[in-house]
Amino acid sequence: MLTALSDNKKLTNMQIQIERQIVLADENEMLGIPTTEEMMLWAQAAFDAADFHKDCAFTARFVSNDEIQELNKTYRHMDKPTNILSFPYEIPDDLPTEVLEAEEAEEGVYLGDLVIAMAVVRKEANEQDKTLTEHCAHLIVHGCLHLLGYDHITDEEAQEMEGLEIKVLEQLGYPNPYEE
């Protein structure tokens, strides 16, 4: 049986809408999935650190290892499951300006999609001796920064992005995820 859940909620200061999708066949795979409220807190902290203050929306989709492995193979040419993938929204070239402005006025900026494999996240948290919540917080912050255009391909990019992640997680009360 496939379970699909979706809920939208907003924060009071900056409006953030998160469509939380859970598409998993087994209830055990759902253990530890963060709540929409937790993800909103983590996303807000990431957006604040990146000096992004627009009303926005994104999707957080929790999937099986098989689904994330297929996405990872298709888009990153890596044939293995991963913890999270970020898909920033790209505005179609032929979208009329008035349509874009109307959509932004109604819903804010759509940032894109985060796809998370909780089985991988749980395994990593255990291997890294972290709580599941702190590892989820790190990955959501990491994914949100990717949606804003941050990356870690070069050393300079990695240093900037990781610095923001460390700062955000410290503000949230979590340890530096890059210390061993």
**Beta carbons of 115 and 68 less than 8 angstroms apart:** yes
**Residue closest to 143 by CA, chosen among 86, 68, 81:** 86
Give, for all 180 residues of the chain, the pLDDT tens digit. Answer: 233 333 444 344 678 999 999 998 788 778 899 999 999 999 999 999 999 998 999 999 999 999 999 999 999 999 999 999 999 997 766 656 665 565 555 567 889 999 999 999 999 999 999 999 999 999 999 999 999 999 999 999 999 999 999 999 999 999 999 986
Residue 4: what pLDDT?
37
**Residue closest to 111 by CA, chosen among 97, 128, 90:** 90
Residue 100: what pLDDT?
58
Residue 92: what pLDDT?
64
Other beta carbons within 10 angstroms of residue 85's beta carbon come to: 19
Residue 10: what pLDDT?
39
Residue 25: what pLDDT?
79
Residue 160: what pLDDT?
95
Residue 59: what pLDDT?
97
